[in-house]
Chains A and B, each alone.
Chain A
Amino acid sequence: MVTDPNNPVLQIEDLSVAYVTNDGFVNAVNDINLTLYPGEIVGLVGESGSGKSTMANAIMRLLKGDAIVTKGRVKILGRDVYEMSEKQLRQFRWSKMSMVFQSAMSALNPVMTVETQILDTLTSHDKSMTKAQALERAKELMNLVRIDTKHLKSYPHELSGGMRQRVVIAIAIALNPSFVIMDEPTTALDVVVQRSILNEIRRIQEKVGFAILFVSHDFSLVAELASRVAIMYAGRVVEMTPSNTLSLMASEKHHPYTIGLLEAIPELTADEVIITGIPGNPPNLRTLPSGCAFHPRCPFAEEICTKERPVAVTVGPSDIECHLYSGKGMKQHV
């Protein structure tokens, strides 16, 4: 896989996605811009309902019937995913970009062995591959995700939750994609299993070199895994920041929502633990608040925030959408 380090693997430009429902539009993704470079791990954090999965599915062009891309484009390796024919897309998906879903059980076929499922993926994309070559590659993949090759003969229900998720990862990387989206791949698992799978992901990623968009609601977990983190609120990326700024100890400036999240989780090793939490509740995407969608919950909100949506400005190493930094607010730089 030859990728120029300066050419992005993923470029999202002004992407908006809405669900069309009987009660009107649900604006799940609103004008998102995001770029991923080869071999990079970028985290996407946000509370449930903030639009993470919608965005992930939109990148893969796997949106369901009632969702429409209302604006913008998605380019993978420079190619617009939405301008491909069905046939081109089928070739592209899984071989250049792939996805790991939260529920391993629903991603796997319950009546097929692990071997059959891996071989299917391999041979359906590479018709020239012989059965023997495919089997060899299947074993290699099992070794890569550290599952005993005897489990090639197992059915999904015969495996533990952690092993199933490893199989799903093996299938996602089977064709050497340049880019993998992982949508909460460990959320349903116990912490020990979760951590061992994250270690695995990191190890494989270092070895094989694909880029990952890692989606999660777990702030501390993403901060450990990713080099950059996108913070999503009400369908927008309100901040993009290097992960090493995501600690109460770090001095970098942040979006007030990011600060709220940092203060909401008890730190495991801090000497003194004080948590505050964020008042109110995440917004309803049918009726987004005016201006900055976070303003009803924001301790720094002022008039401009209710009227005008802030655009991203560069603040230190981060890009932040907030009137504290836009130059338009009365209050400045907390």
Chain B
Amino acid sequence: MSDANQPLLRVEDLVVRFPIAGRQYIRPVDGVSFAIAPGEVLSLVGESGSGKSTIGKALVRMVEPAGGTIEVNGQDVTHIRGRRIKDYRENVQMVFQDPFGSLNPVRTVEQHLAFPLRKHRMDKTVNVNAKIDELLEKVGLTPVADTRQKFPHELSGGQRQRVAIARALAVNPKFVVADEPISMLDVSIRAGILKLMNDLRADMNLAFLYITHDLASARYIGNRIMVLYGGKVMETAPSDELLRHPSHPYTRLLLAATPGSRHQGDLPETSNTAPNLVEGRRGCPFASRCPLVTSECHEVEPALTTLGDNHSVACHHPA
């Protein structure tokens, strides 16, 4: 079933809900749809609390969606359980923001990699030792013999994040969710991780969902950018197109606020209230901050509409 035009991953109308006080629910992800092709990087951008990590967790099925579908290679994985989740994780992996928290302090680098290699090994003749060397080589943790015996606390933040990436690669995935993988790293180290992801995409045809709050890195690594606000997609377009012709008022606000944008003066927003995530909300989640707001925006949720050239926006008053 590997038709060249077939996306690797197809997400349709995804909904995640969490219970809150008073028998109510919030929907940090509400009706999100997108597709990712093999070897493609989709950058997911939005402020904290916009639902980025929850989408990532739903994709690797650490969270079960309340609605919608997630298809990988044409296979519906929205509600799979048990043994099928294990099989599924051979195709998708997640790398987290905090490289320290995601590694076990009492295990060596070698042990971190041997475990998934043994657990997911299809072919029992594969030499785990040789495979560990190959993975460490691939993520640039050389000299390999030294690195193998190290514990997480003996590594720098960037090296730890490389171990986390190597561990994700151990199961030979087609798709990796990278959730703010550089935001806790030093500036001089970030470029190396971004470049590593770029190389893996090129060499292994690996696809990524790259989660970030930084438009500059989103554009650098992503073929496309999807802007999220209050659990909904505000705008999506090829990266350069999104930065050159931002259409949604929230995208324009984000862009103006990003260092290097050369924006002068006050920001195009009317307040900085957080979006309402409670189930049953109406209208556009950005309405309370939007300089272009009209009464329609409070009442009717704008649908994601195509502007052409793979560029879509959910706004009653697009630029």
Contact = CB atoms under 8 A, between A and B. Distances in A.
Interface of A: 47-48, 160, 162, 190-196, 199, 217-221, 223-224, 260-261, 263-269, 273, 275-279, 281-282
Best-buried of A218, A267, A276, A281 by chain B (most CB within 10 Å) = A281
Best-buried of A261, A263, A266, A276 by chain B (most CB within 10 Å) = A266
B258 interface: yes
B186 interface: yes
A174 to B, nearest CB: 23
Given A191-B213, A194-B257, A263-B191, A199 B267 contact: yes
Nearest to A247: B260
A220 B215 CA distance: 13
A235 to B, nearest CB: 15
Contacts of B47: 190-192
24 contacts: A47-B188, A160-B272, A191-B213, A191-B214, A193-B272, A195-B257, A196-B267, A196-B272, A199-B265, A217-B187, A218-B259, A219-B187, A220-B259, A264-B188, A266-B194, A266-B216, A268-B219, A268-B259, A269-B260, A269-B262, A275-B195, A281-B159, A281-B189, A282-B188
A278 B189 CA distance: 7
B285 interface: no
Interface in B199-240: 213-217, 219-220
A162 B159 CA distance: 33
Interface of B: 47-48, 156, 158-159, 186-192, 194-195, 213-217, 219-220, 243, 253-254, 256-262, 265-267, 269, 272, 274
A261 B156 contact: no
Given A196-B272, A268-B243, A277 B259 contact: no
Contacts of B274: 160
Contact of A278 (B159, B188, B215, B262): B188
Contact of B261 (A48, A196, A218, A268): A268
B221 to A, nearest CB: 8
Contact of A48 (B48, B186, B195): B186
Contact of A162 (B186, B214, B215, B272): B272
A202 to B, nearest CB: 10
Given A160-B272, A268-B261, A192 B254 contact: yes
A190 B261 contact: no
Contact of B192 (A195, A273, A277): A277
A192 B257 contact: yes
A47 B158 CA distance: 13
B257 A277 contact: no
Closest 8 CB pairs of A and B: A277-B191, A195-B257, A266-B220, A220-B259, A268-B260, A278-B188, A47-B186, A190-B47
B252 to A, nearest CB: 11
Contact of B253 (A192, A220, A277, A278): A192
Contacts of B159: 281
Given A273-B219, A281-B159, A190 B213 contact: yes
Given A191-B47, A191-B254, A277 B189 contact: yes
Given A218-B259, A281-B189, A192 B269 contact: yes
Contacts of A264: 187-188, 190-191
A225 B82 CA distance: 53
Nearest to A222: B259
A186 B195 CA distance: 27
Contacts of B269: 192, 196
B186 A195 contact: no
A253 to B, nearest CB: 20
Nearest to B193: A277
Contacts of B156: 281-282
B275 to A, nearest CB: 12
Contacts of A279: 192
